[in-house]
């Protein structure tokens, strides 16, 4: 991509590049500012927060103080464990249910296929807030509120995964599948040992999308989780931000840092997969 | 909807004609055993609840109540005269009207500038995408402090530059703007990535052709080549952003809880949440949900229309 290079030689080119960089750097500074405030506040003494001017660096560096306070005084590690259990549990069931369904939709002709696919497309547009009330009543009826199961259940089926994997499986060559079939492999074995390995990028992208959206979800846990021991990171933080530590910004920012860190670090290590995974909803 | 479920074919009887695919005989039950678990979940988690929410919206059901009766369109009629509901709906649209233009414009600007760079594209993309990956609830607590009226760093900076403080979250007139700011910050990078994808799909030859036609300045080429070709992408980004902004919930729940003063930042999903899960007025919450679904369906329909005309993704 060398559009700018063609725009004109010499001065104008460098000037344009320079202006772009200057502008982007200024915007980048603004975009990073909240992260900076989060970090710097987690390292400074409380009395500094009430000074009349903003100091860019802590006058008294508190080190790991607020991080230790956050980890010991609040169940942050429990929140994170719950986040891991719930988002991985959801992802596992989503993959186990969506992959076979997507395979059937992509590679077989059967009665009701069109209808099934039409319903999948329709369901793609329905956010969790729509079935939330009846699902809550159903969970209440079976006495399952305030459990891991309640936190995961609405997401066991991802129509988005079905849609995405169907696209990916469709492009898998029929000839190979057919050859495996002639060798006497079962459809189940063909799917998991031949077709699925060919779709690893799509599955990875979806996994990133699913894990981030459920790690970050506040809405559904807020409805079904009551006990502290089962709270997810967003719910735990919202609860914690609200209760005793309302004014303890150091600890609050340390907690926010701890809870955001896993996804941010994962993003830094796997940028491509993250950008692909997260923007996939926009490109479907 | 129930009619659809009834018409849904169960596992096809084995006697039904097996389908041929590349010479292989695949009986219908194989397909249905693959799709079966998903179909069951689709019915239980999606179709039945949607049918239930529509039914509920015609009842006076309250959570825990022993009797329920059908009240016809009463819930909808009540919503129609409910000022709090209209305020929430109005706030939601005001919020959308702030978030969408700003985040789409910013996304496009970032994409075009970054795409034109000869070096440093990666790092800028990384920086602007970072807010998209950050846990919104955690960042909402940061923003709440950042924009705090007296001790927030934003206002301390304004004051040190001799400017008056802006207390977003205590001023009923500014609170939606403050919330919108957060969403613009967390959405611009997302839109940027979609725009960059759109830009990369524009054939280089078109720019060469534009040069031959004497369009030398970057601005000329932007308006004559880039923008028209980004049309479908732009439409798509606008609709996707609208849906995202329309579903605003987390920041309201964490920062303002609908305040300050009654309902200044009440939005549709938050009001519905309170109605259903705090006051347990299920009938009326169901009616609000149906309104929400109807609006989302309109957006989704537009999105599908745009996608149909778009080839390059």
A165 located within any domain: yes
Q: Please give the pLDDT value at position B12.
A: 39
Mark yes or no for CB contact B216/A52 under 8 Å. no
Q: Is A205 on the interface with B (CB under 8 A)?
A: no
A56 located within any domain: no
A68 located within any domain: no
Whether B268 and B88 have beta carbons less than 8 Å apart is answered as yes
Query: Within 10 A of B222 (CB to CB), how many other CB atoms are there?
Result: 16
Q: Does residue A104 share a domain with residue A197?
A: yes
Tell me the count of A-B CB pairs closer than 8 A: 310
Cα–Cα distance for residue pair A10/B164, rounded to 1 Å: 44
Whether A98 and B38 have beta carbons less than 8 Å apart is answered as yes
Task: Tell me the pLDDT band of B147, cut-offs 50, 70 and 90.
Answer: very high
Q: Does residue B85 share a domain with residue B46?
A: no
CATH number, domain with residue A193: 1.10.3720.10
Quote the number of domains for chain A. Answer: 2
Mark yes or no for CB contact B47/A115 under 8 Å. no
Domain span holding position A105 = 75-283
Q: Does residue A217 share a domain with residue A123?
A: yes
- Is residue B32 predicted with pLDDT exceeding 90? no
List the single range of A261-265, B249-253, B303-307 with lowest mean pLDDT: B303-307
Quote the number of domains for chain B. Answer: 2
Chain B residue nearest residue A156, CA to CA: B41
Q: Does residue A12 share a domain with residue A106?
A: no
Task: Tell me the pLDDT band of B211, cut-offs 50, 70 and 90.
Answer: confident
- Is residue B254 predicted with pLDDT exceeding 60? yes
B313 located within any domain: no
Mark yes or no for CB contact B24/A120 under 8 Å. no
Chain B residue nearest residue A15, CA to CA: B117
B145 located within any domain: yes
Chain B nearest CA to A284, separation (Å):
9
Q: Does residue A80 share a domain with residue A168?
A: yes
Q: Please give the pLDDT value at position B103.
A: 97
Q: Please give the pLDDT value at position B293.
A: 95
**Among candidates B23, B120, B137 on the partner chain, residue whose Cβ is nearest the Cβ of A218:** B137
Q: Please give the pLDDT value at position A51.
A: 78
Mark yes or no for CB contact A1/B115 under 8 Å. yes
Q: Does residue B112 share a domain with residue B160?
A: yes
Cα–Cα distance for residue pair B234/B107, rounded to 1 Å: 10
Q: Does residue B184 share a domain with residue B43?
A: no
Chain B nearest CA to A2, separation (Å):
7
Q: Does residue A261 share a domain with residue A176?
A: yes
Q: Does residue B211 share a domain with residue B152?
A: yes
Chain B nearest CA to A197, separation (Å):
18
Q: Which residues have CB under 8 Å from A51's CB, separation 6+?
A: B156
Q: Does residue B82 share a domain with residue B50?
A: no
Q: Is A7 on the interface with B (CB under 8 A)?
A: yes
B154 located within any domain: yes
**Among candidates B26, B135, B273 on the partner chain, residue whose Cβ is nearest the Cβ of A259:** B135
Chain B interface, best mutation among A5, A110, A248, by max B CB count within 10 A: A110
Query: Within 10 A of A139 (CB to CB), how many other CB atoms are there?
Result: 20
Burial class (CB in 10 A: 0-12, 13-18, 19+), B255: buried
Q: Does residue B204 share a domain with residue B291?
A: yes
All residues of chain A having their beta carbon less than 8 Å from the beta carbon of residue B257 are none
**Cα–Cα distances in angstroms (integers) from residue A158 to residues A102, A121, A165, A211, in the given order:** 11, 11, 11, 12
- Is residue B270 predicted with pLDDT exceeding 70? yes
Q: Does residue A121 share a domain with residue A11?
A: no
Q: Please give the pLDDT value at position A8.
A: 47
ipTM for this prediction = 0.88
Q: Does residue A221 share a domain with residue A174?
A: yes
Mark yes or no for CB contact A119/B47 under 8 Å. yes
Q: Is A253 on the interface with B (CB under 8 A)?
A: yes
Q: Is A107 on the interface with B (CB under 8 A)?
A: yes
Q: Does residue B141 share a domain with residue B47?
A: no
All residues of chain B having their beta carbon less than 8 Å from the beta carbon of residue A41 are 145
Chain A nearest CA to B179, separation (Å):
14
A195 located within any domain: yes
B66 located within any domain: no
Q: Does residue A82 share a domain with residue A3?
A: no
Q: Please give the pLDDT value at position A282.
A: 53
Whether B282 and B61 have beta carbons less than 8 Å apart is answered as yes
Domain span holding position B291 = 76-308
Q: Does residue A105 share a domain with residue A26?
A: no
B87 located within any domain: yes
A245-265 per-residue burial string, b: 16 or more CB within 10 A, e: under 16: beebbbbbbbbbbbbbebbbe
All residues of chain A having their beta carbon less than 8 Å from the beta carbon of residue B137 are 216, 218, 233-235, 237-238
Q: Does residue A131 share a domain with residue A2?
A: no
Query: Within 10 A of B104 (CB to CB), how many other CB atoms are there?
Result: 22
Question: Cis link prior to B260 (omega < 30° from 0)?
Answer: yes
Q: Does residue B88 share a domain with residue B40?
A: no
B61 located within any domain: no
Q: Does residue A269 share a domain with residue A183?
A: yes
All residues of chain B having their beta carbon less than 8 Å from the beta carbon of residue A74 are none
A49 located within any domain: no
CATH number, domain with residue B291: 1.10.3720.10
Chain A residue nearest residue B287, CA to CA: A130
Q: Does residue A80 share a domain with residue A31?
A: no
- Which residues of chain A, if any, have pLDDT below 70? 1-13, 243-246, 280-284
Residue that wins the pLDDT comparison between B103 and A244: B103
Chain B nearest CA to A234, separation (Å):
6
**Cα–Cα distances in angstroms (integers) from residue B162 to residues A14, A70, A131, B168, in the given order:** 36, 36, 51, 18
Residue that wins the pLDDT comparison between A266 and B103: B103
Whether B240 and B303 have beta carbons less than 8 Å apart is answered as yes
B69 located within any domain: no
- Is residue B78 predicted with pLDDT exceeding 70? yes
- Token pair recorded at residue A102: 């997507």
List the single range of A122-131, B24-33, B83-92, B176-185 with lowest mean pLDDT: B24-33
Chain B nearest CA to A154, separation (Å):
6
Mark yes or no for CB contact B211/A181 under 8 Å. no
A86 located within any domain: yes
B263 located within any domain: yes
Q: Is A134 on the interface with B (CB under 8 A)?
A: yes
Q: Please give the pLDDT value at position A281.
A: 60
Q: Which of residues 219-248 of A touch B (CB under 8 A)?
A: 219, 222-223, 233-235, 237-238, 241
**Among candidates A181, A223, A267 on the partner chain, residue whose Cβ is nearest the Cβ of B277:** A223
A248 located within any domain: yes
A124 located within any domain: yes
Q: Is A85 on the interface with B (CB under 8 A)?
A: no
């Amino acid at each position: 991509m060398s559009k700018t290079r063609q725009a004109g030689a010499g001065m104008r080119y460098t000037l344009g590049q320079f202006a772009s960089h200057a502008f982007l750097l200024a915007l980048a500074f603004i975009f990073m500012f909240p992260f900076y405030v989060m970090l710097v506040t987690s390292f400074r003494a409380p009395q500094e927060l009430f000074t009349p001017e903003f100091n860019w660096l802590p006058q008294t560096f508190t080190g790991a103080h607020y991080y230790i306070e956050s980890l010991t005084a609040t169940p942050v590690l429990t929140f994170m464990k719950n986040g891991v259990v719930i988002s991985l549990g959801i992802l596992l069931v989503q993959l186990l249910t969506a992959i076979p369904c997507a395979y059937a939709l992509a590679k077989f002709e059967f009665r009701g296929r069109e209808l099934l696919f039409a319903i999948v497309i329709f369901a793609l547009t329905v956010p969790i807030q729509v079935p939330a009330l009846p699902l809550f009543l159903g969970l209440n009826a079976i006495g399952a509120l305030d459990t891991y199961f309640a936190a995961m259940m609405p997401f066991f089926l991802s129509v988005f995964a079905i849609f995405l994997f169907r696209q990916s499986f469709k492009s898998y060559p029929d000839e190979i599948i057919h050859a495996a079939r002639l060798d006497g492999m079962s459809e189940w074995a063909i799917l998991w040992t031949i077709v699925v390995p060919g779709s690893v990028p799509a599955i990875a992208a979806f996994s990133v999308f699913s894990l981030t959206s459920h790690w970050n979800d506040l809405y559904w846990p807020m409805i079904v989780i009551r006990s502290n021991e089962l709270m997810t990171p967003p719910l735990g933080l919202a609860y914690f931000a609200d209760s005793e530590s309302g004014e303890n910004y150091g600890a609050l920012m340390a907690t926010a840092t701890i809870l955001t860190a896993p996804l941010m670090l994962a993003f830094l290590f796997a940028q491509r997969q993250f950008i692909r995974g997260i923007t996939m909803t926009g490109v479907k | 909807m129930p009619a659809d479920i009834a018409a849904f074919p169960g596992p096809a009887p084995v006697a039904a004609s097996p389908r041929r695919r590349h010479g292989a005989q695949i009986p219908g039950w194989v397909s249905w055993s693959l799709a079966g678990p998903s179909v069951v979940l689709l019915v239980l988690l999606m179709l039945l609840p949607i049918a239930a929410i529509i039914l509920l919206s015609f009842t006076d059901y309250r959570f825990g109540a022993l009797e329920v009766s059908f009240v016809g369109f009463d819930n909808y009629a009540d919503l129609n005269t409910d000022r709090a509901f209209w305020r929430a709906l109005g706030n939601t649209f005001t919020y959308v009207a702030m978030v969408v233009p700003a985040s789409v414009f910013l996304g496009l600007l970032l994409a075009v500038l970054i795409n034109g760079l000869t070096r440093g594209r990666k790092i800028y993309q990384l920086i602007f995408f970072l807010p998209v990956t950050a846990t919104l609830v955690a960042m909402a607590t940061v923003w709440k402090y950042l924009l705090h009226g007296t001790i927030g760093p934003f206002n301390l900076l304004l004051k040190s530059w001799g400017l008056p403080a802006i207390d977003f979250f205590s001023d009923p007139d500014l609170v939606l703007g403050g919330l919108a700011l957060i969403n613009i910050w967390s959405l611009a990078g997302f839109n940027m990535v979609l725009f960059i994808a759109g830009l990369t799909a524009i054939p280089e030859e078109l720019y060469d052709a534009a040069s031959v036609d004497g369009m030398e300045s970057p601005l000329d080429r932007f308006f004559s080549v880039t923008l028209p070709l980004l049309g479908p992408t732009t439409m798509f980004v606008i609709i996707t952003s609208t849906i995202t902004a329309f579903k605003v919930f987390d920041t309201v729940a964490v920062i303002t809880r609908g305040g300050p003063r009654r309902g200044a930042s009440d939005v549709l999903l938050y009001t519905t949440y309170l109605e259903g899960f705090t006051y347990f007025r299920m009938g009326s919450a169901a009616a609000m949900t149906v309104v929400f679904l109807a609006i989302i369906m309109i957006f989704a329909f537009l999105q599908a229309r745009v996608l149909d005309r778009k080839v390059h993704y």
